């Protein structure tokens, strides 16, 4: 519904309501005044009725089944009710007891309603409570404004009642005419006011209509461009003019914002590309990091296993070191004993060497003697050869001499063989002596060295005992350190598992970041499309950069 | 080495040979050609003494272990050879003597070697000391014999 229609209907409704409320209030006041007037009129009529009745007689009694006012018989005498109707109009009745005995009220068939019985609240007020009654009552099916007064005899007993009334319909006839006239006038005034309101509202809202017409030019279609350079007419100085001014200011702000958004879109797209590249690199690094962490974890687990093995072995080393320490102390004592024995052996060996050298010297003397014997045997053999040659040249005469020469030569050969064997034996003895001497010298040197070594060894063993103690303590420290290392490596493995979990979480975050980066790029493209729907000049629209529709890189 | 009894040929006298070793080869020289054997003193060498292995052409044989001089005499000339001490003096039958192969015979005769006797201990080369001294011009007057 248009504002113009709303304003018009609202004005009409307000005017109509105002008229209706005013009219209703006036009618209600009139109605209330009419009711009060009716009551006052009824009181006046009832007093007049009493005066007419009292003119007939001031005492009231029922005699012979009839109501008497003085001597005036009321039953069947309609003079007084008719007189009241003649004077004031309306209905008038005299009751004897609860029964109508004189009335100007007619039944539907046109007869006087005598003989009918009073009932309802008036009867209770009159005959039960002995009080007058004022108010509305239905008489013979017709509503009346009524007034009842009790008629009392000389003893004060209620013996009848005096009634005056007027039909509500008759009484409200003028009121109803007034009401209808007021409603008519109200409607007429409302209609006129509505017409005037339509004209005034239409005139007042005409700038707004122009604004709407301009605003309707903003396209709903995405393919069309919205010109942010348009401006509304700010001619009027009223609120509409102010709204147009504010709207123009809003358009200017919007133009500035869109321009900033266009620039920001480019930066967002650039940032999205940078983020995508960074995420790509980070994802690659995270992948390498994950692989490295896995390898380190595997290595550390092996290291932990090795550390456990080392800890076990280090404990064994501690045990061995203890044993070594004990054995080294015993060994040091035994080496000191050995050193003393080596001294005795060295002295005995020197004596043996001297004897062997003496034996070698004597053997060489024997060799010299054997050389002399060999020379003699050689000369003998040479002589024997020459003798044999001479014997051969002597023929048969030298035959025996040749035999002797041959025997001498054989004897010389035997001497050679014997001396050769002796020389061989002596040579063997000398070789043996030399070897013995060399061996003894070597043994002596070895013994001296052994003695020195034993002495040094004894010192070294003493140092070794101290070293074994240090080694034992160091082994204990190593065992303790390896146990700590085992614990530390286990903690490192746990930490590496946490790191591995963190790397996986980082990888997930990177994937999410990559997804966000892609979404950001897509949003930048969508934002660019949106920005391109606005223009405030061709050159400004052309400044909006085109961007790729998809992100340049994706995280692996 | 064959014995005299086994090697004897009827009507042919056995050969008396002086057996010695030189350069790893065993040689047998006519005992009749050897005038005498004598000691060899390296500190007082004979001026005409020639090592046998040089004369025979065996080149530089190993050093002597027990050198002796072998004096060969013919007429008024002598030849002094330095040999290793003789191994033996034996008599052998001529039927076991084998001539040298024709291919090497001229070359061997030039060095005095004229035949060979095969045996279990190896070949015994028979050398004619006269021919050796003549072919090698080793003769010198007997007065030089010291």
Q: In the predicted model, what is the mean pLDDT of residues A257-274?
A: 82
pLDDT grade for A493, boundaries at 50, 70 and 90: confident
> What's the pLDDT at B145?
46
For residues B90 and B19, give the distance between their C-alpha atoms in angstroms, rounded to a whole number: 7
Instruction: Kindly give, in sequence order, each residue whose CB lies less than 8 Å from that of residue A32, ignoring residues fewer than 6 positions away.
Output: none
Residue A542 has pLDDT above 60, yes or no: no
For residues A408 and B53, give the distance between their C-alpha atoms in angstroms, rounded to a whole number: 29
Nearest C-alpha in B relative to A387: B36
Nearest C-alpha in B relative to A374: B66
Q: Nearest C-alpha of chain A: how many angstroms from B39?
A: 8
pLDDT grade for A500, boundaries at 50, 70 and 90: confident
Residue A226 has pLDDT above 80, yes or no: no
Q: Nearest C-alpha of chain A: how many angstroms from B101?
A: 31
Walk me through the domains of chain A, giving residue ranges and CATH numbers.
3-201 (3.30.450.20), 296-530 (1.10.287)
Question: Mind spelling out the 3-state secondary structure of A275-336?
Answer: HHHHHHHHHHHHHHHHHHHHHHHHHHHHHHHHHHHHHHHHHHHHHHHHHHHHHHHHHHHHHH
Any A CB within 8 A of B34 CB:
yes
CB pairs under 8 A between A and B: 31
Q: In the predicted model, what is the mean pLDDT of residues B34-53?
A: 87
Q: For A479-491, how does the pLDDT look when each residue is reduced to its tens digit (9 = 90+)? A: 777 777 777 777 7
Nearest to A501 by CA among A281, A280, A286: A286
Q: For A334-365, how does the pLDDT look when each residue is reduced to its tens digit (9 = 90+)? A: 877 877 887 788 788 788 878 888 887 888 88
> What's the pLDDT at B10?
63
Give B82's strand partners. Answer: B51, B69
> What's the pLDDT at A541?
54
Residue A119 has pLDDT above 90, yes or no: no
Residue A547 has pLDDT above 70, yes or no: no
pLDDT grade for A60, boundaries at 50, 70 and 90: very high
Q: Residues 83 to 122 of B: which have CB under 8 A from any A CB? A: 85-86, 89
Nearest to B34 among A378, A379, A389 (CB): A389
Measured between alpha carbons, how far is residue A129 from residues A97, A101, A125, A126, B62 in Å? 14, 22, 5, 6, 195
Burial of A155 (0-12, 13-18, 19+ CB in 10 A): exposed
Q: Is A138 helix (H, G, I), strand (E, B) or coil?
A: strand
Q: In the predicted model, what is the mean pLDDT of residues A49-72?
A: 90
Q: In the predicted model, what is the mean pLDDT of residues A508-515?
A: 84
Q: In the predicted model, what is the mean pLDDT of residues B25-49?
A: 88
| pTM reported for the whole predicted model | 0.36
Q: Are A228 and A244 in contact (CB under 8 A)?
A: no
The mean pLDDT value of chain A amounts to 81
Any A CB within 8 A of B13 CB:
no
> What's the pLDDT at B5?
41
Domain map (residue ranges) of chain B: 4-144
Q: Are A455 and A262 in contact (CB under 8 A)?
A: no
Residue B80 has pLDDT above 90, yes or no: yes
Q: In the predicted model, what is the mean pLDDT of residues A364-380?
A: 83
Q: For B6-33, how does the pLDDT look when each residue is reduced to its tens digit (9 = 90+)? A: 445 566 788 999 999 988 889 999 999 9
């Amino acid at each position: 519904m248009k504002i113009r229609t709303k304003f018009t209907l609202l004005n009409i409704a307000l005017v109509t309501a105002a008229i209706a409320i005013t009219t209703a209030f006036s009618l209600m006041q009139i109605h209330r005044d009419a009711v009060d007037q009716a009551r006052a009129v009824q009181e006046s009529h009832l007093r007049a009725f009493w005066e007419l009745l009292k003119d007939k007689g001031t005492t009231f009694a029922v005699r012979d089944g009839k109501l008497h006012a003085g001597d005036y018989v009321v039953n069947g005498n309609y003079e007084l009710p008719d007189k009241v109707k003649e004077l004031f109009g309306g209905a008038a009745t005299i009751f004897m007891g609860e029964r109508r005995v004189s009335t100007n009220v007619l039944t539907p068939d046109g007869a006087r309603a005598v003989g009918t019985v009073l009932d309802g609240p008036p009867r209770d007020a009159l005959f039960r409570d002995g009080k007058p009654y004022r108010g509305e009552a239905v008489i013979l099916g017709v509503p009346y404004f009524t007034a009842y007064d009790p008629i009392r005899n000389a003893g004060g007993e209620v013996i009848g009642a005096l009634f005056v009334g007027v039909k509500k319909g008759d009484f409200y006839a003028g009121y109803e005419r007034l009401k209808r006239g007021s409603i008519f006038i109200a409607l007429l005034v409302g209609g006129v006011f509505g017409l005037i309101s339509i004209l005034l509202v239409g005139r007042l809202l005409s700038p707004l209509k122009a604004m709407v017409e301009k605003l309707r030019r903003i396209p709903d279609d995405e393919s069309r461009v919205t010109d942010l350079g348009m401006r509304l007419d700010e001619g009027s100085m009223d609120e509409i003019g102010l709204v147009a001014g504010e709207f123009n200011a809003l358009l200017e702000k919007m133009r500035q914002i869109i321009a900033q958004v266009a620039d920001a879109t480019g930066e967002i797209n650039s940032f999205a590309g940078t983020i995508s590249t960074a995420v790509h690199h980070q994802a690659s690094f995270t992948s390498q990091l994950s692989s490295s962490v896995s390898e380190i974890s595997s290595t550390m687990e092996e290291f932990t296993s090795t550390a456990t093995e080392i800890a076990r072995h280090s404990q064994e080393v501690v045990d061995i070191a203890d044993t070594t320490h004990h054995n080294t102390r015993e060994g040091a004592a035994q080496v000191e004993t050995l050193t003393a024995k080596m001294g005795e052996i060295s002295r005995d060996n020197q004596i043996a060497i001297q004897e062997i050298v003496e034996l070698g010297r004597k053997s060489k003397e024997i060799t010299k003697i054997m050389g002399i014997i060999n020379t003699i045997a050689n000369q003998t053999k040479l002589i024997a050869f020459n003798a044999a040659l001479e014997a051969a040249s002597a023929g048969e005469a030298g035959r025996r001499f040749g035999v002797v020469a041959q025997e001498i030569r054989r004897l010389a050969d035997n001497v050679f063989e014997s001396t050769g064997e002796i020389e061989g034996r002596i040579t063997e003895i000398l070789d043996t002596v030399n070897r013995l001497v060399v061996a003894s010298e070597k043994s002596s040197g070895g013994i001296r060295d052994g003695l020195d070594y034993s002495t040094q060894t004894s010192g070294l063993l003493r140092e070794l005992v101290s070293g074994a103690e240090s080694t034992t303590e160091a082994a204990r420290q190593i065992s303790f350190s390896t146990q700590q290392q085992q614990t530390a490596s286990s903690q490192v493995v746990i930490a590496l598992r946490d790191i591995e979990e963190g790397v996986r979480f980082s990888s997930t975050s990177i994937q999410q970041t990559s997804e966000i980066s892609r979404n950001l790029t897509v949003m930048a493209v969508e934002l660019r499309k949106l920005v391109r729907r606005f223009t405030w000049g061709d050159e400004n629209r052309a400044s909006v950069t085109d961007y790729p529709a998809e992100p340049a890189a994706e995280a692996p | 080495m064959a014995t005299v009894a086994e090697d004897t040929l009827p009507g042919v006298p056995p050969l008396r040979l002086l057996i010695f070793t030189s350069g790893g080869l065993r040689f047998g020289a006519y005992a009749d050609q050897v005038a005498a054997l004598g000691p060899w003193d390296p500190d007082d060498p004979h001026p005409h003494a020639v090592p046998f292995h040089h004369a025979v052409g065996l080149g530089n044989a190993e050093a002597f272990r027990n050198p002796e001089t072998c004096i060969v005499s013919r007429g008024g000339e002598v030849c002094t050879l330095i040999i290793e001490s003789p191994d033996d003096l034996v008599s052998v039958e001529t039927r076991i003597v084998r001539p040298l192969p024709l291919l090497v015979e001229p070359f061997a005769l030039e060095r005095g070697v004229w035949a060979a006797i095969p045996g279990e201990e190896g070949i015994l080369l028979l050398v004619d000391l006269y021919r050796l001294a003549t072919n090698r011009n080793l003769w010198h007057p007997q007065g030089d014999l010291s």
